[in-house]
Structure 1
Amino acid sequence: MMETQVRPSPVSATVDFDSDGIQHGFLRLPYSRDDAAWGSVMIPVTVVKNGEGPTALLTGANHGDEYEGPIALFELARSVRPEDVRGRVIIVPAMNQPAFAAGTRTSPIDKGNMNRAFPGRPDGTVTEKIADYFQRVLLPMADVVLDFHSGGKTLDFLPFCAAHILPDKQQEARAFELVRAFGAPYSVKMLEIDAVGMYDTAAEEMGKVFVTTELGGGGTASARTAQIAIDGCRNLLIAAGILKGKPEVRSTQWLDMPDGDCFTFAEDHGLVRFCADLGDKVQKEQIIAFIYPIGRTGLKPVELRARRSGLFTARHFLGLVKPGDCVAVIADEIIG
């Protein structure tokens, strides 16, 4: 019986991941299109290496309309010095480069959601090919993975850093140590409502220490959230033993999302009116939003009630909602 051979990745790197020093280059994926028969998708990458030590893989724009991560990582790539590093840092500010260039959550080429495309395929769509390269080339190099997210154009979050509850408690504890070191205003024990195909899942199944964020939203980055990303990235690298220096010790409020009752979904289409703001404490059965039908006047709005008590942590950002949209997220505050 013949063994099935796995195709090599079509992505090639213009940097040498094993050479000391700092290199700025690209991950180049051939992409034949109408305006360039022999064209390529060019994903910027920086590699900083100084001797032996752990490797951090830092990524932004997994979704292309989320900007705090790219800001922090373009700044780090510009300013980091090899002599300040012990080990290696791989910086990819715009993981889904086509989506980032277009300012969209998913790729304009194939509508691929990078964070639902893992493990990817070397002979798949553009998004699947990029995911495959991370799965088979970049993730195996890493010890620590930091993947920046925010709400994009459709969600808004209290700025938090997060990790997941894992079966491997040593892996879990190390992730939460780095979450604390990141020093965001809020730190979350995260429950994913859709974990299939996620970059998070791919990294954690390899035993990597995985940390992520949700830093604001609305399809922009404020001065505050950009600075949280820049400072948090530096703090995490120092705590991981990869970057020299002392981390800034900052207080953080720990939050927990223990079950599906944290999430409130719309079942109707209409105009949303929130009755609480991010950071407010809400009670179970409290009205947190109304959805007004928009086809005619005089109709009673639909009430959305909190399914649990807690802190209003995230909300739908656009003024209109559709059935199935996540309207609100409520988390438990952890004391101590």
Structure 2
Amino acid sequence: MSDLLPPSPVTPTVDLDGGGAQHGYLRLPYSRDDSAWGSVMIPIAVIGDGDGPTALLTGGNHGDEYEGPIALFELARELDPAAVRGRVIILPAMNYPAFRAGTRTSPIDRGNLNRSFPGSPTGTVTGKIADFVTRHLVPRADIVLDFHSGGRTLDFLPYAAAHELDDKEQERRSFEAVAAFAAPYAMRMREIDAVGMFDTTVEAMGKVFVTTELGGGGTASATTAAIARRGARNVLKHAGILAGDPEGAPGRFLAMPSPDCFAFAENAGLVAFARDLGEPVARGEVIARIHPVDRTGAAPAEIRAALDGVLAARHFPGLVQQGDCLFVIATTAS
């Protein structure tokens, strides 16, 4: 079906199949009030000789998540092409307009890139970015690592993750890469809404796919940035693209096996948590209370755990709106 689509309007300024260390842009025309023939210039690096596997490393899928961009801008600068067997394609800030604005979605079209795949060459700016990545980058890759964290509204235990897949061999290879990443935790995931995700598109193409959630709150700590740096190199070592063995031990495996893992706010107000990230929780236990803020004297709403596990994620700002994800409970993986 991709052969029936119009060509992508994106023009790389690097040779995607070339050698050495190339640093350039994906240039996407974007006509706007202050630049009639303007462009969105998305930084990209292509490093290596192509004689071996190819890894696609992406960050900034959401623009307010920073561990990936920190690790990948540094990696692009530091990688010696002579040390690379194969090729590494690096997009440190895939949704570049959102990254520059520090927002989850694009300020141009409000597009959530991670709900826009496989994209369209005739769509919005966000859709055109998704289309180029889908048709021109993912097919070149043997393994894909897409960095995420909680952004401004969630905070996570630092984990690398892969998904349960129908293709069990692909699933096995993906979880081997998760273990090699060596984050403090490793997650077996089922998404509550996988439509339009980069993950779904990559996995449908049969690729090994690893993602992360590394903290949150719209910033990056020294600890989570270090996890991202080491994890990126570990995945490249695991793939045989860099020499050596991955550093560190595989993290503790957890799972998100069902929708019961997710709790959502039915009331707006001020949230107070009864447990911190990583702490054990029991089914029926109060995990959060939402206090009304429009008057005193009203009792808070109590939100309880639907299953036993550990607190893996929580809403970050103190004020919540109706429908916000409040927390996520993960179980011990079997």
Same-fold call, TM cutoff 0.5: yes
Aligned counterpart, 2:333: 334
For the pair 1:117 / 2:119, whether they are aligned, the reply is no
Aligned counterpart, 2:217: 218
| Gap runs ≥5 in structure 2 | none
Aligned counterpart, 1:147: 146
Q: Shift of the alpha carbon at 1:246?
A: 2.6
- Cα deviations by residue, 1:274-294 (Å, 9 ceiling, x for unpaired): 011001101000000100111
Structure 2: distance between partners of 1:300 and 1:285 = 19
| 1:229-240 matches, cutoff 5 A | 229-240=228-239
Which amino acid in structure 2 is aligned with residue 142 of structure 1? A
| Secondary structure of the structure 2 residue equivalent to 1:118 | coil
- Cα deviations by residue, 1:222-270 (Å, 9 ceiling, x for unpaired): 0000000000110110001111223213241100111011111111111
| 1:43-62 matches, cutoff 5 A | 43-62=42-61
Per the normalisation by structure 2, the TM-score is 0.98
| Gap runs ≥5 in structure 1 | none
RMSD: 1.0
Aligned length: 332
Aligned counterpart, 1:307: 306
- Cα deviations by residue, 1:28-47 (Å, 9 ceiling, x for unpaired): 00001111111100000000
- Cα deviations by residue, 1:290-315 (Å, 9 ceiling, x for unpaired): 00111111100000000111000000
Structure 2: distance between partners of 1:156 and 1:51 = 38
| Secondary structure of the structure 2 residue equivalent to 1:213 | strand
Is contact 2:311-2:328 (8 Å) kept?
yes
- Cα deviations by residue, 1:12-52 (Å, 9 ceiling, x for unpaired): 10000121111000000000111111110000000012241
Aligned counterpart, 1:24: 23
- Cα deviations by residue, 1:184-233 (Å, 9 ceiling, x for unpaired): 00000011111000000000000010100000000000000000000011
Structure 1: distance between partners of 2:234 and 2:163 = 19
Is contact 2:188-2:333 (8 Å) kept?
no
Aligned counterpart, 1:182: 181
Structure 2: distance between partners of 1:212 and 1:252 = 14
Structure 2: distance between partners of 1:19 and 1:141 = 12
| 1:1-336 matches, cutoff 5 A | 5-334=4-333
Structure 2: distance between partners of 1:128 and 1:10 = 11
Q: Shift of the alpha carbon at 1:5?
A: 4.1
**Runs of 4+ more than 3 Å apart:** none
Identity of aligned residues (%): 66
Is contact 2:283-2:307 (8 Å) kept?
yes
Structure 2: distance between partners of 1:208 and 1:95 = 19
Is contact 1:18-1:49 (8 Å) kept?
no
